[in-house]
Structure 1
Amino acid sequence: MGLRIINRRPGRGGALFWGALPFLAVLALYLTFSAMRLADNPNDKLLPALSTIAETVVRLAFTPDQRTGQVLLWVDTAASLARLAWGLAVSAALGLVIGIASGLVPYLRAGLSPFVAVVSLIPPMALLPILFISFGLDELSKVVLIVIGIAPFLIRDLAMRVEAIPPELVIKAQTLGASTWQIITRLVLPTMLPKLIDALRLSLGPAWLFLISAEAIAAQDGLGYRIFLVRRYLAMDVILPYVAWITLLAFLMDWGLRAINRRTSPWLTRGMA
């Protein structure tokens, strides 16, 4: 049994090696095809050299723009993170309040569950024109798109997790004289907060997608705005660093949420990915 590959686990060094291997393979492929294209056409823009990308990063991250006097990468990052933070915060609040209420109170569950289920099936991007017409082209429409995109998922996930709480715990709390509010604040809420953080981690990808899509259509700054602004010029030396930066930001947000769970609820996150 010990010889089977499913029973073998890499050590720390092996895990680092196997984790880095796909990234190194992608980098090697990029360098190879970039060198081939640039050998045929030194002005090729599709796969710019790493030196060209590095020069662009320095210009975007450390050099003020001649027209606005602002450092574009940080201005775009601040704008996108502010929109994303508002969208995630509102979605988390709705998910927590409505999810707990729907999962714990049968009458609310009967009234809210069908509506939330239907809303969750609406493609959020199909609503983008409606949001721009209703809320204008400013920040609110972008935040609302994120909320519509991920709040129904959070609500449904939290409601199902509340329903999965062992009934004997709720019965025991009632036997000890706990009111509905005390059951929520002392039993359900502490149990659901780590679950909410896990659900937020799973929602980061869709949240970034909705944000970038909204910024691409109607914005004056933001990471998505910048990517779609330069696409007409085939400026891959700008697009690729911005995509890598968005990926890094998403990774850091995921890591931060996971660290919060490990610190605040180690008994629930033991063994969590």
Structure 2
Amino acid sequence: MRLINQKPSRIARYALGALPFAAVLLIYSVASKLRHMENPQDRLLPSLQQMAAAVERMAFTPSKRTGEYTMWLDTLASLERIGIGMLVSTVLALVLGIAMGAIPRIRATLAPFVGAFSLIPPITVLPILFIVFGLGETAKIALIVVGTAPVMTRTVAQATADVPDELLVKVQTLGANSWQIVTRVFVPMVLPRLIGAIRMGLVPAWIFLVSAEAIAAEQGLGYRIFLVRRYLAMDVILPYVAWITIIAYVLDRAFYLLSRKGLRWAHGEGGAL
């Protein structure tokens, strides 16, 4: 049997998927041990034990100053910002995207503007947002919206425009009004693409969030990373980076499962990644 036709079993898929992670962990452990053999005070590659101790201190030991658990407060602050930002982006993408894809006059009016706006590097807008909204939560959330909403809107607009004309003719023949066409045809048809856009938007959203928190914040995962970097506290930075990765992965899988379970008709036999 040719290699391209050999499909691993479920257990084999899990084992193969875990292999690169195990390899990276092994390589890091060896490199860390070698560096500490040469210099026991090395801080660039902390040992796994040092990082575990840092996690214990940050996540499971109350702060002596405030009595709070620092890592969980940072996590909640970042999740709240990214949650509100992505919610606003999703609503904008759904409303504007369907309007642009379904109504030619709106598409002619907004498509050039949204297309141009989506090409602006969001990080360059951050100083403007801080000037306009101040250093509070609004500017951080606005950065996430600016960085994700235009691209998501274009995705939804294209998905709306791809709805077959034959389907629209049939529902209009059956007497459906504009609101019924939007809610019963366009929304169900674009939901799979919208969820895909959310999954893709979460990647830059985390980048923008960490960037904003690094500049002006008092809590947050990005804030903590940039706070401790001045002390070369890699035993804190690396677990925080790993924790952000885990959260992002869980969110991505959650939206994937939501699409698979709630929109079965939109997935083929193999499904999406």
* Band the TM-score falls in, shorter-chain normalisation: over 0.9
1-structure distance, mates of 2:227, 2:19: 33
Q: Please name the residue that 1:81 is paired with.
A: 79
Following superposition, the deviation at residue 269 of structure 1 comes to 2.6
Distance 1:79 1:167 in 2: 45
Distance 1:65 1:136 in 2: 29
Q: In 2, Cα distance between the equivalents of 1:97 and 1:191?
A: 14
Partner residue, 1:247: 245
Q: Which amino acid aligns with 1:170?
A: L
Letter in 2 for 1:206: P
The match for 1:126 is 124
Aligned residue in 1 for 2:49: 51
Shift of 1:110: 0.1
**Alpha-carbon distance, 1:105 to partner:** 0.1
Determine the C-alpha separation between the residues in 1 that align with 2:77 and 2:27: 33
Aligned to 1:108: 106
Q: Matched residues in 1 for 2:10 and 2:168: separation?
A: 42
- CA positional deviation for 1:194: 2.2
Measured after TM superposition, the shift of residue 88 of structure 1 is 0.4
The Cα of 1:13 is off from its aligned counterpart by 2.0
Matches of residues 29-40 of structure 1 in structure 2 within 5 Å?
29-40=27-38
CA distance in structure 1 between the aligned counterparts of 2:254 and 2:56, rounded to whole angstroms: 27
Q: Distance in 2 between matches of 1:226 and 1:99?
A: 36
Q: Map of 1:188-199 to 2, 5 A cutoff? A: 188-199=186-197
Separation of aligned partners in 2, 1:174 and 1:213: 48
Q: Deviations over 1:101-129 (max 9, x none)?
A: 00000000000000000000000000000
Alpha-carbon distance in 2 for matches of 1:128, 1:136: 11
What's 1:152 paired with?
A: 150
Displacement of 1:132 in angstroms is 0.3
Question: SS in structure 1 opposite 2:108?
Answer: helix
* 1:81-113 deviation per Cα after TM superposition (whole angstroms, max 9, x unaligned): 000000000000000000000000000000000
Give the TM-score normalised by structure 1: 0.98
* Mapped partners of 2:9, 2:109: distance in 1: 51
What's 1:257 paired with? Answer: 255
Q: Which amino acid aligns with 1:146?
A: I
- Which aligned runs of 4 or more in structure 1 are off by greater than 2 angstroms? none
Aligned-partner Cα distance in 2 for 1:272–1:120: 25
> What residue number does 1:11 align with?
9
| AA partner of residue 229 (structure 1) | L
Code of the aligned partner of 1:151: A
**Paired letter, 1:190:** P
What's the CA shift string for 1:62-98, capped at 9, x where partnerless? 1111122211000000100000000000000000000
**Cα offset, 1:33, TM superposition:** 0.5
Amino acid at match of 1:214: A
Indicate the residue corresponding to 2:229 in structure 1.
Answer: 231
Matches within 5 A, 1:195-206: 195-206=193-204
Runs of 5+ consecutive residues of structure 2 not aligned to the other structure: none
Per the alignment, residue 272 of structure 2 pairs with 272
Q: Which residue of 1 aligns with 2:184?
A: 186
Amino acid at match of 2:227: L
% identity of equivalent residues = 54
Deviations 1:229-256 (A, max 9, x none): 0011110100011001100100111111
Cα drift, residue 211 of structure 1:
0.3
Cα distance in structure 1, aligned partners of 2:171 and 2:105: 20
1:166: Cα distance to partner?
A: 0.7
Query: What is the Cα deviation at residue 261 of structure 1?
Result: 1.0
2:66 is paired with a residue of what secondary structure?
A: coil
Aligned-partner Cα distance in 1 for 2:98–2:215: 35
In structure 2, C-alpha distance between the alignment counterparts of 1:124 and 1:14, rounded to whole Å: 41
Offset at 1:167? 0.6
